[in-house]
A = this chain, B = another copy of it.
């Protein structure tokens, strides 16, 4: 019987890929068996999905084959759905079999949070995967085609984006960029199209600098976005949404971006969770499980002021690096490293040529911010795939 420890990584998102790549680099030959489990054979860039969802960029700029990111001689790749995490047995049940582990890294990513709003999970679409994104893109274009077959259905030209956080704002900006092109392709009067962005909070992009928020709203309004801020969605129906004010917006397309919660598999595993997220220790370990690490959207960590870090790609990536180091340290009986989040700044894209950014203690808008956004994207490609990936997937213009 092999005494080599088995490391299983669940999920090849930002956290999982970084963990796998670092393990591959740090581990010596035969020091551990590493298996990476993912539902798809590709890794996708969640922070980029707003573009293909709106149809302003191709899917292929948003994903890369995992086999290009990891060395399959060093890491086994299993393409399967995780169905259950059995902590007591140290096993993971997959759709096509079972895996035992000594060390487990849970990097499964989150799920859309509907906050109990009736109808939302039935009638709204969410930007959460390549499949969902292709669906949204096709759904939107199909509405234009269907409208031309029956012009009484003006609700087909109403598009509702629920939530004005990062994803909501970035998506609505791309959608506003795409609408004029769709109008031209389908001979539709652009004045007939309505794009709504609905947000229950008193502001869009909560947490962002107020000046930048104001700038963003101005840019988006000019692109034709109609905001309803401080307005909760009461219900989502087959024919649209009802607001808390009682107002009804008829729409054949509701895209919900209002929030992320932890993965239900994590809850089901028996961890104590808050909105599906597990409060991990400073070494990224699940409470009471020294050899189970949780990173990314399923982990809950607090900043020095005691507020939870929002789930972002940035934190997931940093966690992936530290997680790999800690797994290696644990195997070698060395001391583990504390995770300290280093905030590199934030950029929100506002469509073609427009963005807002806060970084290096400064604020940026417009073209400069849009360039920063590109640099962030390119740096990520460089990190996970080096120059070849930058050249194959990068958007330079």
Contact = CB atoms under 8 A, between A and B. Distances in A.
A330 B132 CA distance: 63
B149 A145 contact: no
Interface residues of A, number: 20
B185 A59 contact: yes
B142 A138 contact: yes
Interface string A137-151: 111011011101100
A59 B141 CA distance: 14
A135 interface: yes
Q: How many copies does the complex hold?
A: 2
Interface in A126-142: 130-132, 134-135, 137-139, 141-142
* A interface, over-half SS: helix
B148 A186 contact: no
Contacts of A185: 59, 134
Contacts of A144: 134, 138
Interface in A91-148: 130-132, 134-135, 137-139, 141-142, 144-146, 148
A138 B135 contact: no
Contact of A138 (B59, B134, B141): B141
A143 to B, nearest CB: 9
A146 B135 contact: yes
Contact of A142 (B130, B132, B142): B142
Contacts of A40: 187
A59 B181 CA distance: 14
A111 to B, nearest CB: 15
A142 B148 CA distance: 16
Interface string A142-166: 1011101100000000000000000
Contacts of A149: 131-132, 135
Given A134-B186, A138-B142, A138-B145, 7 more contacts: A59-B185, A131-B148, A134-B148, A134-B185, A135-B145, A135-B148, A142-B142
15 contacts: A59-B185, A130-B187, A131-B145, A131-B148, A132-B149, A134-B144, A134-B145, A134-B148, A134-B186, A135-B148, A135-B149, A137-B145, A138-B141, A138-B142, A142-B142
